[in-house]
Structure 1
Amino acid sequence: MMTPAEFLQHWHKAVLSKDAALLSSIIAEGCELHSPVVWKPTNDKAYLIHILQGVIDTIDDFAYREEWVKGNGIILEFTGNIAGKGLVGIDKITLNEDGLMSRIEVLIRPMNTYIEFATRMREHALAFKKEIA
Protein backbone atom coordinates (compact mmCIF):
# COMPACT_ATOMS: atom_id res chain seq x y z
CA MET A 1 0.00 0.00 0.00
CA MET A 2 1.22 3.46 -0.93
CA THR A 3 0.86 6.37 1.51
CA PRO A 4 -0.39 9.76 0.28
CA ALA A 5 3.18 11.10 0.65
CA GLU A 6 4.54 8.27 -1.53
CA PHE A 7 1.75 8.83 -4.06
CA LEU A 8 2.67 12.52 -4.24
CA GLN A 9 6.36 11.73 -4.82
CA HIS A 10 5.41 9.53 -7.79
CA TRP A 11 2.77 12.01 -9.03
CA HIS A 12 5.14 14.99 -9.07
CA LYS A 13 7.88 12.94 -10.75
CA ALA A 14 5.45 11.65 -13.40
CA VAL A 15 4.06 15.12 -14.13
CA LEU A 16 7.49 16.76 -14.25
CA SER A 17 8.93 14.10 -16.56
CA LYS A 18 5.67 13.59 -18.52
CA ASP A 19 6.03 9.86 -17.82
CA ALA A 20 2.83 8.05 -18.89
CA ALA A 21 4.04 4.69 -17.56
CA LEU A 22 4.70 6.15 -14.11
CA LEU A 23 1.31 7.89 -14.16
CA SER A 24 -0.34 4.60 -15.09
CA SER A 25 1.36 2.82 -12.18
CA ILE A 26 -0.27 5.12 -9.59
CA ILE A 27 -3.76 5.28 -11.13
CA ALA A 28 -6.35 2.63 -10.27
CA GLU A 29 -8.30 0.87 -12.99
CA GLY A 30 -11.67 2.59 -13.29
CA CYS A 31 -10.36 5.88 -11.88
CA GLU A 32 -12.99 8.60 -12.35
CA LEU A 33 -11.97 11.77 -14.18
CA HIS A 34 -14.14 14.83 -13.54
CA SER A 35 -12.73 17.43 -15.89
CA PRO A 36 -13.92 20.86 -16.98
CA VAL A 37 -13.42 19.78 -20.60
CA VAL A 38 -15.51 16.59 -20.63
CA TRP A 39 -19.29 16.53 -20.45
CA LYS A 40 -19.54 13.59 -18.07
CA PRO A 41 -17.04 11.76 -15.88
CA THR A 42 -15.02 9.01 -17.50
CA ASN A 43 -13.38 5.95 -15.98
CA ASP A 44 -11.27 4.83 -18.95
CA LYS A 45 -7.70 4.74 -17.60
CA ALA A 46 -6.01 5.07 -21.01
CA TYR A 47 -8.17 8.10 -21.82
CA LEU A 48 -7.47 9.61 -18.39
CA ILE A 49 -3.71 9.33 -18.96
CA HIS A 50 -4.13 10.85 -22.44
CA ILE A 51 -6.03 13.79 -20.92
CA LEU A 52 -3.50 14.30 -18.12
CA GLN A 53 -0.65 14.36 -20.62
CA GLY A 54 -2.62 16.86 -22.70
CA VAL A 55 -3.02 19.14 -19.70
CA ILE A 56 0.70 19.00 -18.97
CA ASP A 57 1.50 19.74 -22.64
CA THR A 58 -1.17 22.44 -23.09
CA ILE A 59 -0.39 24.59 -20.05
CA ASP A 60 2.86 26.54 -20.32
CA ASP A 61 4.93 27.01 -17.16
CA PHE A 62 2.78 24.40 -15.38
CA ALA A 63 3.72 24.18 -11.71
CA TYR A 64 2.19 23.05 -8.44
CA ARG A 65 2.34 25.71 -5.74
CA GLU A 66 0.38 24.26 -2.81
CA GLU A 67 -0.80 20.88 -1.58
CA TRP A 68 -3.12 19.72 1.16
CA VAL A 69 -3.53 16.14 2.37
CA LYS A 70 -6.31 14.91 4.62
CA GLY A 71 -6.74 11.15 4.99
CA ASN A 72 -7.01 9.72 1.48
CA GLY A 73 -7.82 13.12 -0.05
CA ILE A 74 -5.30 15.38 -1.74
CA ILE A 75 -5.75 18.87 -3.15
CA LEU A 76 -3.04 20.24 -5.41
CA GLU A 77 -3.14 23.87 -6.53
CA PHE A 78 -1.40 24.58 -9.83
CA THR A 79 -0.57 27.59 -11.96
CA GLY A 80 0.40 28.11 -15.56
CA ASN A 81 -0.21 30.09 -18.72
CA ILE A 82 -2.10 29.55 -21.94
CA ALA A 83 -1.54 31.96 -24.81
CA GLY A 84 0.06 34.38 -22.34
CA LYS A 85 -2.94 34.29 -19.98
CA GLY A 86 -2.40 33.10 -16.42
CA LEU A 87 -4.50 30.41 -14.82
CA VAL A 88 -4.95 28.79 -11.45
CA GLY A 89 -6.40 25.34 -10.98
CA ILE A 90 -6.98 22.61 -8.47
CA ASP A 91 -6.60 18.85 -8.78
CA LYS A 92 -8.78 17.18 -6.14
CA ILE A 93 -7.53 13.60 -5.86
CA THR A 94 -8.97 10.67 -3.94
CA LEU A 95 -6.81 7.61 -3.23
CA ASN A 96 -8.20 4.10 -2.79
CA GLU A 97 -7.19 1.69 0.00
CA ASP A 98 -4.05 0.73 -1.97
CA GLY A 99 -2.93 4.36 -2.27
CA LEU A 100 -3.76 4.56 -6.00
CA MET A 101 -5.70 7.46 -7.48
CA SER A 102 -9.35 6.42 -7.76
CA ARG A 103 -10.84 9.84 -8.57
CA ILE A 104 -9.61 13.20 -9.83
CA GLU A 105 -11.62 16.36 -10.23
CA VAL A 106 -10.05 19.36 -11.95
CA LEU A 107 -11.15 22.98 -11.52
CA ILE A 108 -9.67 25.92 -13.47
CA ARG A 109 -10.11 29.69 -13.47
CA PRO A 110 -10.35 32.47 -14.76
CA MET A 111 -12.96 32.06 -17.47
CA ASN A 112 -11.03 33.69 -20.33
CA THR A 113 -8.04 31.39 -19.84
CA TYR A 114 -10.31 28.41 -19.24
CA ILE A 115 -12.01 28.97 -22.62
CA GLU A 116 -8.64 28.91 -24.40
CA PHE A 117 -7.62 25.82 -22.40
CA ALA A 118 -10.89 24.02 -23.19
CA THR A 119 -10.55 24.76 -26.90
CA ARG A 120 -7.05 23.30 -27.02
CA MET A 121 -7.95 20.32 -24.82
CA ARG A 122 -11.00 19.50 -26.95
CA GLU A 123 -8.68 18.95 -29.92
CA HIS A 124 -6.39 16.82 -27.76
CA ALA A 125 -9.31 14.79 -26.37
CA LEU A 126 -10.69 14.11 -29.85
CA ALA A 127 -7.25 12.93 -30.99
CA PHE A 128 -7.55 10.02 -28.53
CA LYS A 129 -10.38 8.50 -30.55
CA LYS A 130 -8.22 8.73 -33.69
CA GLU A 131 -5.24 7.09 -31.90
CA ILE A 132 -7.23 4.03 -30.86
CA ALA A 133 -9.16 3.68 -34.14
Structure 2
Amino acid sequence: IVTILGWFVLNRTTFGRRTVAVGGNAEAARLAGIDVRRQRLYLYLLSGLCCGIAAFLLIVLSGSGQNTNGNLYELDAIAAAIIGGTLLTGGRSTITGSVLGVLIFTTITNIFALNNLQSDVQQIAKGAIIVAAVLVQRRTTSTT
Protein backbone atom coordinates (compact mmCIF):
# COMPACT_ATOMS: atom_id res chain seq x y z
CA ILE A 1 0.00 0.00 0.00
CA VAL A 2 2.85 2.38 0.87
CA THR A 3 4.57 1.60 -2.43
CA ILE A 4 1.44 2.28 -4.45
CA LEU A 5 0.76 5.47 -2.51
CA GLY A 6 4.36 6.64 -2.97
CA TRP A 7 4.25 5.90 -6.69
CA PHE A 8 0.99 7.79 -7.04
CA VAL A 9 2.28 10.83 -5.15
CA LEU A 10 5.57 10.98 -7.08
CA ASN A 11 4.09 10.40 -10.53
CA ARG A 12 0.61 11.90 -10.42
CA THR A 13 0.75 14.98 -8.17
CA THR A 14 2.41 18.36 -8.45
CA PHE A 15 4.11 17.71 -5.09
CA GLY A 16 5.74 14.61 -6.59
CA ARG A 17 6.78 16.39 -9.77
CA ARG A 18 8.33 19.19 -7.73
CA THR A 19 10.09 16.64 -5.55
CA VAL A 20 11.59 14.90 -8.57
CA ALA A 21 12.61 18.26 -10.04
CA VAL A 22 14.30 19.42 -6.84
CA GLY A 23 16.03 16.05 -6.44
CA GLY A 24 17.28 16.07 -10.00
CA ASN A 25 18.60 19.62 -10.18
CA ALA A 26 17.70 22.12 -7.49
CA GLU A 27 18.99 25.10 -9.45
CA ALA A 28 16.96 24.21 -12.55
CA ALA A 29 13.90 23.68 -10.33
CA ARG A 30 14.44 27.11 -8.78
CA LEU A 31 14.71 28.69 -12.22
CA ALA A 32 11.51 26.88 -13.23
CA GLY A 33 9.67 28.67 -10.42
CA ILE A 34 9.66 26.03 -7.71
CA ASP A 35 10.28 27.27 -4.18
CA VAL A 36 13.11 24.82 -3.43
CA ARG A 37 13.42 25.76 0.25
CA ARG A 38 9.71 25.19 0.87
CA GLN A 39 9.73 21.90 -1.06
CA ARG A 40 12.70 20.66 0.95
CA LEU A 41 10.96 21.69 4.16
CA TYR A 42 7.89 19.67 3.18
CA LEU A 43 10.10 16.70 2.31
CA TYR A 44 11.89 16.90 5.66
CA LEU A 45 8.51 17.06 7.42
CA LEU A 46 7.29 14.03 5.49
CA SER A 47 10.52 12.19 6.24
CA GLY A 48 10.20 12.98 9.95
CA LEU A 49 6.60 11.74 9.96
CA CYS A 50 7.64 8.48 8.27
CA CYS A 51 10.52 8.06 10.74
CA GLY A 52 8.12 8.58 13.63
CA ILE A 53 5.74 5.95 12.26
CA ALA A 54 8.63 3.54 11.70
CA ALA A 55 9.93 4.15 15.24
CA PHE A 56 6.48 3.48 16.67
CA LEU A 57 6.21 0.22 14.70
CA LEU A 58 9.71 -0.82 15.80
CA ILE A 59 8.82 -0.17 19.45
CA VAL A 60 5.65 -2.23 19.08
CA LEU A 61 7.60 -5.01 17.37
CA SER A 62 10.38 -5.15 19.97
CA GLY A 63 8.15 -4.48 22.95
CA SER A 64 10.41 -1.79 24.38
CA GLY A 65 11.89 1.55 23.51
CA GLN A 66 15.66 1.54 23.74
CA ASN A 67 18.25 3.81 22.24
CA THR A 68 19.79 0.87 20.37
CA ASN A 69 16.59 -0.04 18.51
CA GLY A 70 17.14 0.49 14.82
CA ASN A 71 20.91 0.73 15.22
CA LEU A 72 22.57 0.81 11.78
CA TYR A 73 19.24 0.63 9.93
CA GLU A 74 20.39 3.63 7.92
CA LEU A 75 23.10 1.41 6.40
CA ASP A 76 20.42 -1.06 5.30
CA ALA A 77 18.27 1.74 3.87
CA ILE A 78 21.14 3.24 1.87
CA ALA A 79 22.20 -0.18 0.59
CA ALA A 80 18.66 -1.10 -0.44
CA ALA A 81 18.22 2.20 -2.27
CA ILE A 82 21.54 1.86 -4.10
CA ILE A 83 20.86 -1.76 -5.04
CA GLY A 84 17.44 -0.63 -6.28
CA GLY A 85 19.05 1.79 -8.72
CA THR A 86 18.91 5.12 -6.89
CA LEU A 87 21.80 7.34 -7.90
CA LEU A 88 23.80 8.83 -5.04
CA THR A 89 24.23 11.98 -7.10
CA GLY A 90 20.46 12.38 -7.34
CA GLY A 91 18.16 12.71 -10.29
CA ARG A 92 17.17 9.11 -10.92
CA SER A 93 15.26 6.57 -8.88
CA THR A 94 12.06 4.57 -8.91
CA ILE A 95 9.77 3.33 -6.19
CA THR A 96 9.70 -0.17 -7.67
CA GLY A 97 13.49 -0.26 -7.87
CA SER A 98 13.72 0.72 -4.22
CA VAL A 99 11.25 -2.00 -3.24
CA LEU A 100 13.24 -4.55 -5.23
CA GLY A 101 16.40 -3.31 -3.53
CA VAL A 102 14.77 -3.79 -0.12
CA LEU A 103 13.70 -7.33 -1.06
CA ILE A 104 17.18 -8.22 -2.33
CA PHE A 105 18.96 -6.73 0.66
CA THR A 106 16.54 -8.34 3.12
CA THR A 107 17.20 -11.68 1.47
CA ILE A 108 20.95 -11.12 1.83
CA THR A 109 20.50 -10.20 5.50
CA ASN A 110 18.41 -13.33 6.09
CA ILE A 111 21.07 -15.49 4.43
CA PHE A 112 23.65 -13.98 6.78
CA ALA A 113 21.44 -14.73 9.79
CA LEU A 114 20.75 -18.30 8.66
CA ASN A 115 24.49 -18.91 8.31
CA ASN A 116 25.08 -17.57 11.84
CA LEU A 117 27.48 -14.83 10.77
CA GLN A 118 28.56 -12.49 13.56
CA SER A 119 27.05 -9.02 13.45
CA ASP A 120 30.45 -7.41 12.83
CA VAL A 121 31.03 -9.63 9.81
CA GLN A 122 27.51 -8.87 8.59
CA GLN A 123 28.13 -5.11 8.78
CA ILE A 124 31.44 -5.47 6.93
CA ALA A 125 29.74 -7.57 4.24
CA LYS A 126 26.91 -5.06 3.93
CA GLY A 127 29.44 -2.25 3.59
CA ALA A 128 31.28 -4.20 0.89
CA ILE A 129 27.99 -4.70 -0.95
CA ILE A 130 27.33 -0.96 -0.81
CA VAL A 131 30.83 -0.15 -2.10
CA ALA A 132 30.46 -2.70 -4.91
CA ALA A 133 27.04 -1.32 -5.87
CA VAL A 134 28.38 2.24 -5.92
CA LEU A 135 31.33 1.20 -8.09
CA VAL A 136 29.01 -0.59 -10.52
CA GLN A 137 26.72 2.44 -10.51
CA ARG A 138 29.57 4.82 -11.26
CA ARG A 139 30.83 2.63 -14.07
CA THR A 140 27.40 2.33 -15.69
CA THR A 141 26.53 6.04 -15.35
CA SER A 142 29.91 7.22 -16.64
CA THR A 143 29.56 5.14 -19.83
CA THR A 144 26.04 6.35 -20.63
Q: Same fold (TM over 0.5)?
A: no
Mark the structure with the bigger radius of gyration: 2
Higher relative contact order (CA 8 A, sep 6+): 1
Taking structure 2 as the reference length, what is the TM-score of the superposition?
A: 0.29
